[in-house]
Structure formats: structure tokens, C-alpha cells
Amino acid sequence: MAKLKEDKKKQIKKPAVVIEQPVIDRLQDIEARRTRLKALIVLGKERGYLTYAEINDHLPEKLVDHEILEAIVSMLNEIIEALARRGDAVILSRVGFAVLGSFGDVLNVYVQAPSAQRLAAVMTSEGLTDSAAAEERVRAEDTVQRQFVQRFYDRHWDDPSGYGLILDTGSLSVEAAAIKVIEAARSVAATAVAGDAPTTAVLEVDPVLADAVESVLAEPVPG
């Protein structure tokens, strides 16, 4: 009799685990979002910058125009905050000062250069031979970025009060400018602990985004 009971117990199967479709859809959404974010961060890491159009290309589908603009701003903010929360990061962004300006452990740096120097740099990087075309390109980009910052952050990107350090590469070499940034960053780091302002340690970052950032930054920069 005992043997029969034992055999019956062996025949009992555990019920199958059923994963509801909404859960599957959510998992797929998370994985798709992780893939999009990683691709975007990889692009920025390899080239050193991202355009608004590229960010738009990595946004979810089925967004109307105003939602796209809001999503771009939201994604910019989230990526900047994720990088800042990770620490030891140099973030090149027109809006970084507006997103991170309230944190005591962040040094916001404004770098300006003479027009001739900027034109030469654009002509070299874009392969342009017409200086007038390069000048128009610089003017158009400045206008778009200035309007973007003012519209979505209600700030002026060239307002000196938004920065802890302002550098003019017309009078400073790249090496001298880098030294000034390093010295200022060390000073900020030394005083941030004792200061009253919050630090980036209080930032709450989406785990999916944090994972994408960590994954990308762990990879070597292509030579």
C-alpha cells in the first residue's frame, strides 16, 4: 500500500508556469528599449556627439509630433542623468548645464572659440571648401540649438551664470584648457561633500538605461 502511494506521488506533475501575454509584451518592450538605448549610446561614444535627428530615430514608433519633441527632451535628460549618476564622466551637451546645474558635484563648462576657428573646424570635419557655406552651417546650427534650449529648458545656453568655468580657446591652447578643467573639477569634487547642494548620488536612474550605459562604457572605444 505504501508503495502504491509512493508511485502516485511520483506521477504527480507540477503545474506548468503560464506567463501571461501582457508580461511577455512588457519583457519584449524592455529588451527593445535596452537595444535602442545601447545603439544610441554606442553611436555617441564612437563619434563623440549625437544629433536630435538620431535621437528621434531611436524613439519608439507611433508618436505624434509634440510627443516626439517631448520624448527627445526626456531621453536627453535621462541619458545625461544616467551618465552623471555613474560618475567620472565628461558630458558634451548644450543642455547639460540646465539638467545638472543644481548638483554640487557637477562642473558646468562653457567653451567658446573665435568664429574663424569654428569655421575652420567645421570645414575640416564636414569636408567643406566653401567658407560661406560653412559659416551658414554654423549659424543655422547655433540658431536651432539656442531655440531648443530656450524652448524646452527656458534657459539661454550662453548665459555665463549657468557655468562654473568659461574657456576661450582663442586665447588658450587645448592643453591649457584641459588643465583648467581638471583643476576646476578637482576643486568641485573636494568641496561637494561639505556643501549644501545635493549631489548626483541622489539621482534615480531607470535600471534599463543604467544597464545600457554600463554595458557601452565597459567596451573599449574603437581606435
- For the chain, the structural domain boundaries read 18-87+200-223
Residues 124, 127, 130, 133: is their CA dihedral positive or negative?
negative
- The answer to whether residue 211 scores a pLDDT higher than 60 is yes
Roughly what angle, to the nearest 10 degrees, separates helices 21-47 and 207-217?
40
**What pLDDT, on a 0 to 100 scale, did the predictor assign at position 54?**
63
Give the Cα separation of 213 and 38 in Å (integer). 7
- The answer to whether residue 179 scores a pLDDT higher than 50 is yes
Work out the average pLDDT over 195-205.
88
pLDDT band at residue 201 using 50, 70 and 90 as cut-offs: very high
The model's pLDDT over 37-73, given as tens digits with 9 standing for 90+, comes to: 667 666 666 666 666 566 656 555 554 456 666 777 8
**What pLDDT, on a 0 to 100 scale, did the predictor assign at position 108?**
96
Indicate the average pLDDT of the chain: 78
Work out the average pLDDT over 118-141.
87
Which residue from 64, 63, 59, 61 is spatially nearest to 74, judged by alpha carbons? 59
Count of beta carbons in the 10 Å neighbourhood of residue 80: 19
